[in-house]
Structure 1
C-alpha cells in the first residue's frame, strides 16, 4: 500500500512541477506585454488570453500537487489536538462526504464543458486574437481526475494512520522556509539565535 501511495504522490508531484513552468511563461508574457505596450506603444492582441490560460492551467493542475504535499489551507485549531487515529478518521469521513463528490462533479461537468468546447472548436471572445481555448478547457476534467487519484492515496494514508497511529511520511519536495526552520534542529538553533524571534 505504501508503494501505491508514493507512486501516486510522485505522479502528482511530477504534474505539479511540469505545470509550474506556466509561471515562467506567464511572467514572460506579462513582461513582454508591458514592454511593447508602454515602451513601443504597440500592444499585443494575444497576451491577455495567454496570461489567463497560463494562470488557469497552473491553478487547476497545482491542486493534486498541493494535496500530495498536504499544503491546502486547513482550519486545524482543534484538529491538531486530536490523536493521529482520530485525525485520520475525520479526514476519511470528510474525503468521502465532501472531497470525492466535489471532484466527481468537477470531472463530470468539466468533461461536458470540454467536449462541447472541442465540438465547437471554441475560441476566446475576449480578444481579437481569437485564440483556441478547447485545449485549455480539457484541463478541467483532467484536474478532477488527478485530484480523485490523489484522493485515493489520501484515503490509503488515512487507513494506515488509523491502524498504526502514525502518519506516513510524505515525499520530500520544495518547502516554505519557515516550515523547514520549524522542522529541523538547525532551524531551531537559527530561531534561538534570532533576537527578533526571541522577542
Structure 2
C-alpha cells in the first residue's frame, strides 16, 4: 500500500513541479505579444490562443498536485472545532458525496468531450485555428490523476480515523 501511495504522490509531484514552469511560457508569450503589439504595431495572431491553452493545461493538470498538498480552497469554520478523528470522518464523507462523483463525471464526460474533439480534429476559433483536441485530452487525464490522488487521500484519512493521528 505504501508503494502505491509513494507512486501516485511521486507522479503528481513530478507533474506539478514540471507543469508549474508552463507559467513562465505563458508570461513570455504575453510579453512577446505586448511588445510586438505596442512597439512594432504587429500583433501576434497566435499569442492569445497559445496562452489560453497553456493556462488550461496548467490549471487542470496541477489539480492533483494541489490536492496532494492540501491547497484547494476549504472552509474550516466548523471543521477546526472537531477532533482529528472526526475531521477525517468529515473529509471521508465529503470525498464520497462530493469529490468522487464529480471527478468520475469529469472523467466520463471529459473522455467523451475529448473523443469528439479528436474525431473532428477540432481547432480554435482564433485567426490561426490552433488544434484544441490536445488540450481537451487533458480533461480526462486530470480526472484520472485526481481519482488516484483522491484514493491516496482516502487511504490516509481511513488510517487517521483508525489511529486518531493525522498523517
Normalized against structure 1, the TM-score is what?
A: 0.82
Hey, what does 2:73 align to over in structure 1? Answer: 73
Shift of 1:61: 0.9
Q: CA RMSD in A?
A: 0.9
Query: Which residues of structure 2 form unaligned runs of 5+?
Result: none
State the Cα distance separating 1:36 from its structure 2 match. 0.3
Query: CA separation in 2, counterparts of 1:3 and 1:116?
Result: 36
| Alignment partners' CA distance in 1, 2:48 and 2:59 | 16
Which residue pairs with 2:49 in the alignment? Answer: 49
Deviation beyond 6 Å, 4+ runs, structure 1: none
Give the TM-score normalised by the residue count of structure 2. Answer: 0.97
1:95 is the counterpart of 2:95: yes
Matches within 5 A, 1:34-183: 34-125=34-125, 127-168=126-167
Is residue 2:8 matched to residue 1:8? yes
Larger Rg belongs to: 1
Residues 5 and 157 of structure 1 are in contact (CA less than 8 Å); yes or no, is this contact kept in structure 2? no
Q: Per-residue deviation at 1:4?
A: 2.6
| CA deviation map 1:65-120 (0-9, x unaligned) | 11000111110012012111111111111111110000001111100110000000
Aligned partners of 1:64, 1:70: CA distance in 2, in Å? 10
Q: Deviations over 1:123-165 (max 9, x none)?
A: 101x211101110100011101100010000110111101111
Can you give the 5+ residue segments of structure 1 that lack an aligned partner in the other structure?
Answer: 169-199
